[in-house]
Structure 1
Amino acid sequence: MAINKIWHSLAKDRGPFIHQIKTAFFLLLTLTFLLFAVAYASDFTFDTIMFPQTWFTKIMNQTHYKVTDSIWANHNQKDTLAYLPNQKIQKRGSTIYYHIAHPSNYHYILDEPDICSQWDPFLVLMVPVAPHQVGARNAIRSTWGNESTVQGKAVMTLFLVGLTGGSDSEKAQQQLEEESRQHRDLLQSNFVDSYFNLTIKTMVIMDWLATRCPQANFSMKVDSDMYLNLENLMTLLLAPNTPRQNYITGMVMWNQDVIRDKNSKWYVSEELYPEPKYPTYLLGMGYVFSNDLPEKIVEASKEIKAFNIEDAYVGACVKHVGITPSSPPDPSQFRAYLGQYNREDFLRVITTILGSPQQLIDIWEDLKRPT
């Protein structure tokens, strides 16, 4: 009240001049408040951000996950990344990523724990795939994933997905559960399914093979956009000179530089991987290995700091175990791209990248037609 009386008295004596001072005074107070707010916000961390109490949080086992949004180089969409407390940190630009690869940090939401004891497979094909890519899974199910016996050996195909995230996550999860009931070939773990988390995804695959399917002779990690010629693969695996232990082969990558460009999709910081070059590794599109390796790779991941280039990380774990990746007898059978479709080329390779699920179906139908 006293302040208002003073302002009123001054206003009577000084008129518009005092009114301008009054206005300036309040503007100064407002500006000061805004400056303090900005300073406070600059020190704000994501520690206080958490998901609302939805299905997504319940599925995370009541763990408070920290969340950030990132825009990948060469992409316009946002990837939601979730991470556990105490995970390793990688910075790119102004964004902080956290990453832990050891699979003991995660659990299975959808699982087929007894399927290997029922099938007793010689070869297990493990396909990492995004939850929404139903078309890719169905294309594989109707082509190479439908082959259960090759050259007299049992073959089994399984798909691994992470959490869907997003506003429609509950509906998407219900669809995954229905798909699982229908096909019995779907595994799901509680990491957020994103490009950056491919290392986690691969290590969960290794964990599943080690704990659920140790009786298999060989396994293959093969991407969902791949053509796979199982006849040629089985011929390789059954060859008398193919080792049954400590064996991993595919498209061998030698002497590859670590990318330090922070604008690159494949950037890895020196804090995560200090060496200038990666150890010898197999390109992640598809590599096959003796099934004694998954347990050894999982054990090695306790010692090897995680980084986000999943195939190079597996290479680092393999090196830690003391194993050198093997070049296949015919390296041309593991091809990145074959270019324009030629039937004879596809009959010779083991695996190559395709452009779409429909292309896989079309090529498969042509290869299976009578000649």
Structure 2
Amino acid sequence: MFVVSALLDFILLHTFTFSLPSLLCSLGRDTAPHRCQIKTGFILLLTLAFLLTAVAYVSEFSLKTAVLPDTFYEKVLNQTRSYYVVIEYPSASKNQTSPSQIPTQSTDMSVHHHVAHPSNYHFILDEPDKCSQWDPFLVFMVPVAPHQVEARNAIRSTWGNESSVQGKAVLTLFLVGLTGGPEAQQKLEEESRQHRDLVQSNFVDSYFNLTIKTMVIMDWLATRCPQASYAMKVDSDMYIGLENLMSLLLAPNTPRENYITGLLMWDRPVIRDKNSKWYVSEELYPEPKYPTYLLGMGYVFSNDLSGKIVEASKKVKAFNIEDAYVGACLKQLGIAPSSPPDPSQFRAYLGQYKRDDFLRVITTILGSPQQLIDIWEDLKRPT
């Protein structure tokens, strides 16, 4: 009502102030025509200024009275800002952390830091007692997108279905981030209740945030599964030769501490091409080459390293190439990745399927979930 009244007052004042000088000039009461022109111009300017003031007031009043709902999508959008933030390490434990308690974040898109330290996140879905019930010798942690149900089911029906290899307990878990919507979240929760093998944390699940995903994996291993002797971070499109892997870990010369092995990457240059998906700015990583690291498709490590890598990450600026970042954390710790006894067992691609080749390897990348199922069934058939 106040706004309407103010507008009416303005209209009346405008009519009076503008009409009176014009009337005087037209009647000849003001004998200086140039002064009539000046007065008229002045009145027009004054009117325009008053009009702009009224519009600004009404706009401000309208904005103040508009309240946006606190929706799930708004929360997810807030999470997205963690892509470009200055790294901070709050003292609160992750169990006390909620999305609203994530550190103050910069929205400057020219800053490409992101919050990689796991204390900035908490678990939405968790299996905190899994390792105490299972007492695994080896834990597979598989980072996977929430919607990739087919990939998870293929692993569940092949190498992820094995609970014991050469007499040692084996456990497979999947790590996901935010789903992006309530319907997808509900489906994920139903899947979790059915299989009891999902761990979810409240970071935006994206390629850029793979470093966050890996650090959350390390934190889960350190805090939820310290009794495991070894762990393996393995991508969801991988074939794993369980027998060969277990033979490697049980070999008498395989270290039980400070050990990590896989497909070694030496002298890899940092990509500075901004059009590349692997681009890293000099601000994030100033050195021209990465330290020696292990290709992220699948690397196995003694589980004491999980907590040590988390601690090292407090001192190593995060960047978006997750496997190279783990290499930077290892360098900070003074720990060098080990070459496997038989480097040919950690393969990126084997090419056309040959049964004997797959029987010899520990890792290789596959083209689809169905290919994993087909190959696994063939490898398990009697000869």
Same fold (TM over 0.5): yes
Measure how far apart 1:318 and its partner are: 0.8
Do residues 53 (structure 1) and 46 (structure 2) align?
Answer: no
Partner letter of residue 356 of structure 1? Answer: S
Ranges in structure 1 where 5+ consecutive residues have no aligned partner: 11-24, 34-49, 71-81
TM-score calculated relative to the size of structure 1 = 0.79
With over 3 angstroms needed to count, the CA separation of the structure-2 counterparts of 1:65 and 1:333, relative to structure 1, is: closer
Q: Provide the residue aligned with 2:147 in structure 1.
A: 132
Q: State which of 101, 112, 115 in structure 2 corresponds to 1:100.
A: 115
For residue 143 of structure 1, report the CA deviation from its aligned partner.
0.3
**Residues 1:311 and 2:323 are matched in the alignment:** yes
Paired residues for 1:240-279 under 5 Å: 240-279=252-291
Counting only pairs closer than 5 Å after superposition, residues 116-127 of structure 1 correspond to structure 2 as: 116-127=131-142
The aligned residue for residue 180 of structure 1 is: 192
Shift of 1:263: 1.2
SS at match of 1:196: coil
Q: Which deviations, in whole Å up to 9, do the C-alpha atoms of 1:152-181 show, x marking residues without a partner?
A: 00000000000011xxx1011111111111
* SS of structure 2 residue aligned to 1:284: coil
State the alpha-carbon separation in 2 of the partners of residues 335 and 341 from structure 1: 13
**1:29-44 pair list within 5 angstroms:** none
Which residue does the alignment assign to 1:110?
125
Give me the whole-angstrom Cα distance separating, in 2, the residues matched to 1:300 and 1:182: 36
Aligned to 1:163: 178
Alpha-carbon deviation of 1:55? 3.1
1:213 aligns with 2:225: yes
Partners of 1:301 and 1:206 in 2: how far apart? Answer: 11
Count, aligned residues: 325
What secondary structure is seen at the aligned counterpart in 2 of 1:242?
coil
Alpha-carbon separation, structure 2, partners of 1:87 and 1:251: 36
C-alpha displacement of 1:219: 0.2
Q: Distance in 2 between matches of 1:96 and 1:51?
A: 28
Question: Equivalents in 2 of 1:68, 1:103: separation in Å?
Answer: 12
Amino acid at match of 1:163: L
Q: Deviations over 1:3-48 (max 9, x none)?
A: 57999999xxxxxxxxxxxxxx9xxx9xxx9xxxxxxxxxxxxxxx
**2:203 matches 1:191:** yes
Change (3 A) 1:210 1:69: closer
CA contact (8 A) 2:138 2:228 kept: yes
Equivalent residues of 1:114, 1:212 under 8 A apart: yes
Against the structure 1 CA distance between its residues 210 and 289, is the aligned structure 2 distance closer, same or farther, given a 3 Å change threshold?
same
Q: Which has the higher helix share?
A: 2
Distance change in 2, residues 1:83/1:97 (3 Å)? farther
Q: Who is 2:299 aligned against?
A: 287
Q: Is the 8 A contact 2:211 2:322 kept in 1?
A: yes
Matched, 1:148 2:163: yes
Secondary structure, counterpart of 2:263 in structure 1? strand
Please say if residues 108 and 188 of structure 1, whose CA atoms lie closer than 8 Å, have aligned partners that are also in contact: yes
The equivalent of 2:88 in structure 1 is none
1:74 aligned residue: none
Q: Is the 8 A contact 1:227 1:360 kept in 2?
A: yes
CA contact (8 A) 2:141 2:175 kept: yes
Q: How does 1:309-348 map to 2 (within 5 A)?
A: 309-348=321-360
Q: Compared with structure 1, are the counterparts of its residues 69 and 184 closer, same or farther at alpha carbon in structure 2 (3 Å cutoff)?
A: closer
CA distance in 2, matches of 1:83, 1:356: 39
Between the aligned partners of 2:253 and 2:224, the Cα distance in structure 1 is 28
1:264 positional shift: 1.0
> Partners in 2 of 1:83 and 1:332 — Cα distance?
46
Q: Indicate the SS of the match to 1:210.
A: helix
Note if contact 2:80-2:204 (Cα within 8 Å) is conserved in structure 1: no
Which residue in the other structure is 1:42 paired with?
none
Cα drift, residue 69 of structure 1: 10
Q: In terms of Rg, which structure is larger? A: 2
Shift of 1:65: 4.1
Q: State the identity as a percent.
A: 77
CA shift for structure 1 position 97: 4.0
Relative to structure 1, is the Cα distance of residues 235 and 98 closer, same or farther in structure 2, using a 3 angstrom cutoff? same
AA at the equivalent of 1:212: R
CA drift of 1:370 comes to 1.3
> What's 2:30 paired with?
none
CA 1:252 to 1:69, structure 2 compared with 1: closer, same or farther past 3 Å? closer
Task: Give the aligned CA root-mean-square deviation in angstroms.
Answer: 3.3
- Shift in CA distance, 333/51, structure 1 to aligned 2, threshold 3 Å: farther
CA–CA separation in structure 1 for the residues paired with 2:315 and 2:106: 13
Q: Return the alpha-carbon distance in structure 1 between the equivalents of residues 330 and 311 of structure 2.
A: 10
